[in-house]
Structure 1
Amino acid sequence: MNREEDGDDEVVCLDESFFINDDYQLTTFTFGSQVLHLFCLQSASTDFDLTGQLVWPGAMLMNDYLSKNPDVLQASSILELGSGVGVTGILCSRFCREVLLTDHNEEVLKILKKNIEHHTSSENPNSDAGLAVEKLEWGNSDQINKIIQKYPDMTLLSILCCFQQSSISPLFDTVEQFLRLKGRGQCKFILAYVSRAKSMDSMVLNEATRHGLLINEIVGTRSVVGNLEGVIFEVTLK
C-alpha cells in the first residue's frame, strides 16, 4: 500500500496484492462425457483484471459447444485467448494435437500453470496433446509475432472471455493480427460471446467489421447460460 499527499488530502494507492485471493478450490466440471477437475475461485476482484481466476459463462458456453462438436478440434493446434484458469484449453487437449493457452495477468498465469500441471500429472498423464502457456496482452504486436514464430503450426484460434467494453477493440486487433500473419484460410477464430448489454453486442459486430473481419453466428449455438443469452461466432478474414 502506498500513500501520496495531495495538498491536505492523503491519497491511498492500493497495489495488486491487496486484491489477490489465492484460496482456490478444486472444482469439478462436466461437459458431455468429459470431466475436468480444476482449481478456481468462486468470486474475484475486478480490480487489476483478476477476473480470470473464475470460470465464466462464456467458458461454459464454449465447452458445451466443443464437447458436442469435437470434430472442430480434430488434428488442430489451438491458440486460446484469455484462458483464465484453463477450463477450455484443457478440454481442447482431449481432442486436438496442441494447445497454447494465453493470458496477460501474472496472478492468473500462476493458477493456469497449476491447473495444467494438475491435469497432466494426475488426471490425464498419457495425453498426447501438448499444453503450453504464454503471456499475451491483447494488441501487443511483439508478443503476437513471438507466438507466431514459436508456434508456426497453429491453425485455429478460440476464445472465451468475460467482455469489458474496453477489451473489445484490443481483442479484435489481436485476432486480426493473428489471422493476417497466418494468411487467409489458414486460421479462424471461434468466439463464445455472452451478451450483457445491447451496446456491447453492437460494438462486437462493429469492431469485427472495422478490422476487416467476417463474423457469422454458428447455427444452433444460441442458448441461455445462467440468465444470459450466449452465442458462438466464427470469425475469418474478409
Structure 2
Amino acid sequence: MERKEDDEVVCLESFFINDNYQLTTFTFGSQVFELYCLQSASTDYDLTGQLVWPGALLLNSYLSKNSDLLEGCSIIELGSGVGVTGIICSQFCNEVVLTDHNDEVLKILKKNIELHKSLKTARSCAGLVAEKLEWGNPDHMSEISQKYSGGFDLILGADICFQHSSVPPLFDAVEQLLHLKKGKHCKFILAYVSRAKMMDSMVTNEAIRHGMRVVEVPGTRSVVGNHEGVIFEITLQ
C-alpha cells in the first residue's frame, strides 16, 4: 500500500504536541488571575506559545505598574501564546485582539479567553478576541486590516524575537499595523529578552530599516529568566 506523505506529517505533529495544560495563578500588581499553560516547553514543533516566557512576565509587570497606558485603548498583541498579557490588558482596554499563528496555540488561547469571560474578572470582556496572524502572510494581514480598519492605539509583543528568520516579517507586520491608525499616534511596545548579540542588533536594524524609531523605556532593564530584558517603545519616524 502506498503511504501518503501527508499522513507521515500528521503522525509527526501528533508526536510533538503536548497538551498537558495546568491551571496556573499569576499575580501582577493588584491583578490576580488564572489561566491554562504548560509548565515546561514542548518538544520544538513551533509550539513555544504554550507556556509563559520571561518576556511576558517583564511586559506584564511593566503594564501593571503603568496601567494608565492601557486605559480606554484598543490593543493588538503579536505572538500572544496562552494570553497572559491580554488578560491583564482586558481590565483596562476597550478592545484587545490577541494573535498567534499556530493552530494548537490558538486553541489554548481561546480556552483561556473563555475561562476569563466565564469568571467575569474583567471590567469588560466584550472586546477580548483571538485571531490567527502569521507574520509575512498577506492574507492574514489583509483580514486583520479590514476587520480592524480603525487601527490600534498600542501593538504589544513579548519575547517574540528569538528566530532570525522571523524578525523581518515581524517588523513588516508592525509597520502595517502602525499605519492602520492613519496618522494618529500608535506605538509598538516590545518586551525584549537578549539571548544573542546578533539578535540584539538585528532587532534595532530591522526597526530602522522599516522607518521606525526605537527608544528604551528608562528603568525597565532587568534580569528575567537569567537573561537581560528591557522594554522598547517603537514608533514610526
Could you say which residue in structure 1 is the equivalent of 2:190? Answer: 191
Match of 1:92 among 89, 98, 123: 89
Residues 1:40 and 1:128: Cα distance change in structure 2 (over 3 Å): closer
* Alpha-carbon distance in 1 for matches of 2:116, 2:4: 45
Q: Residues 198-217 of structure 1: matches in 2 within 5 Å?
A: 198-217=197-216
Report the Cα offset of residue 206 of structure 1.
Answer: 0.6
Residues 1:3 and 1:195: Cα distance change in structure 2 (over 3 Å): farther
Deviations along 1:123-168, whole A, 9 cap, x unmatched? Answer: 5265355211110001222222221221234221111134222221
Could you say which residue in structure 2 is the equivalent of 1:127? Answer: 124
Q: Is the 8 A contact 1:172 1:208 kept in 2?
A: yes
Q: Is the 8 A contact 1:86 1:115 kept in 2?
A: yes
Q: What is the TM-score normalised by the length of structure 1?
A: 0.90
Match of 1:150 among 130, 147, 159: 147
Residues 1:184 and 1:214: Cα distance change in structure 2 (over 3 Å): farther
AA aligned to 2:19 is: D
Runs (5+) with no aligned partner, structure 1: 6-11
Range that drifts further, 71-80 or 140-149: 140-149
* Alpha-carbon distance in 2 for matches of 1:192, 1:124: 25
Could you say which residue in structure 1 is the equivalent of 2:50? Answer: 53
Could you say which residue in structure 1 is the equivalent of 2:64? Answer: 67
* Alpha-carbon distance in 2 for matches of 1:125, 1:73: 14
Q: Is the 8 A contact 1:28 1:36 kept in 2?
A: yes
Report the Cα offset of residue 22 of structure 1.
Answer: 0.7
Report the Cα offset of residue 181 of structure 1.
Answer: 3.2
Q: Secondary structure at the match of 2:230?
A: strand
1:220 maps onto 2:219 in alignment: yes
> How many matched pairs?
231
Report the Cα offset of residue 48 of structure 1.
Answer: 2.6
Deviations along 1:90-122, whole A, 9 cap, x unmatched? Answer: 110011111000000000000000001111102
Could you say which residue in structure 1 is the equivalent of 2:171? Answer: 172
Range that drifts further, 190-199 or 163-172: 163-172
* Alpha-carbon distance in 2 for matches of 1:203, 1:52: 22
* Alpha-carbon distance in 2 for matches of 1:34, 1:17: 36
* Alpha-carbon distance in 1 for matches of 2:43, 2:170: 18
In the TM superposition, structure 1's runs of 4+ consecutive aligned residues that sit over 6 Å from their partners are 2-5
Q: Residues 32-47 of structure 1: matches in 2 within 5 Å?
A: 32-45=29-42, 47=44
Q: Is the 8 A contact 1:39 1:111 kept in 2?
A: yes
Report the Cα offset of residue 4 of structure 1.
Answer: 8.8
* Alpha-carbon distance in 1 for matches of 2:176, 2:136: 8
Q: Which structure shows the higher strand fraction?
A: 1
* Alpha-carbon distance in 1 for matches of 2:14, 2:181: 38
Q: What is the TM-score normalised by the length of structure 2?
A: 0.91
Deviations along 1:179-222, whole A, 9 cap, x unmatched? Answer: 12333333211100000011110111011111111111111111
